[in-house]
Amino acid sequence: SGGNVNIGTGETTQTARMLNVYGGAARVTQTSGGNTIEVFGGTTSGQSYGLLVNAGSTSADYCANFRDKDGTSILRIRGDGKVGIGTEIPAEKLSVEDSSPAILINATSATGESKLQFGRLGNTNVGEIKYEHSNNAFTFRTNDGADRLRIDSSGRVLIGTATVKSSGSGQYAKLNVEGYIGGSECFASFSRAEAASAMSKDDEVANLTFNDSAGYEFARIQVLADNDTGATDTPGRIVFRTTADGASSSTERLR
């Protein structure tokens, strides 16, 4: 029909396609305007689901497009190597979009490990996020795979160590921090989000508060600027505060 060939059907309305095959894979080749391959499902005309491969003239043109029964793109691979899942315009090497939460699943056996690795050319595992299914623990690694932070199955956060304390009050701690590399002592830093040169006397530097689940305060350890500050001038004071019976905010008790 007009130079078009239909195999397996008497349909003559598919004039935009040079070759139509029903009951098998359909391959259509165009020698101008880019080469196109289409593989559609169904046995009637007008079906739009399946695979569309187009060799476009620019890197932004897609080279493979998997579509659902409504013609909506499910997976698109562009000529510039970008892959879009749920989007026809991937912004990065891999873009996943959905109107509901977009979820990527990395599943393995009950004793295996699921990993997301970050690397550079020549070294594909510089950083890593790992989930251990045998003990339901998350591990974050940096600097060629060194463990930095771990969240165990009980929700305890371990920094500088992969071992939960087994005795004393340490075994109940939700946060465990051990000494930095090259030293045995442990540091935890709490900072105000500006330089001392921009601060004034009595400005709060940091607070450590003790609250109920709603946030009401039982006690507080507070650090403030004790006098005028400067670029290399950081006078400070520590204030201990507790909340009186019948109150919901703390009062200074000791400085």
Joined together, the tokens standing for residue 26 give 């359909």
Closest to 85 measured CA to CA, from 70, 93, 95: 95
More confident residue, 215 or 123: 215
The most distant pair of C-alpha atoms in the chain lies apart, rounded to whole Å, by 96
Per-residue pLDDT averaged across 106-125, rounded?
Answer: 88
pLDDT of residue 205: 96
CB 231 within 8 A of CB 216: no
pLDDT of residue 31: 44
More confident residue, 124 or 217: 217
| Confidence bin at 112 (pLDDT 50/70/90) | very high
On the question of pLDDT at 24 being above 70, the answer is no
| Confidence bin at 74 (pLDDT 50/70/90) | confident
On the question of pLDDT at 22 being above 60, the answer is yes
Q: From the CB of residue 212, how many other CB atoms can be counted at a distance below 10 Å?
A: 9
Q: Work out whether strand 5-7 and strand 19-21 pair parallel, antiparallel, or are unpaired.
A: parallel
Per-residue pLDDT averaged across 5-33, rounded?
Answer: 59
pLDDT of residue 33: 52
Give the whole-angstrom CA distance, residue 219 versus residue 248: 10
| Confidence bin at 43 (pLDDT 50/70/90) | very low
Full-model pTM: 0.67
pLDDT tens, position by position, 178-223:
886 667 788 889 999 999 999 999 999 999 999 999 999 999 999 9
Give the whole-angstrom CA distance, residue 222 versus residue 204: 7
Closest to 110 measured CA to CA, from 133, 132, 131: 133
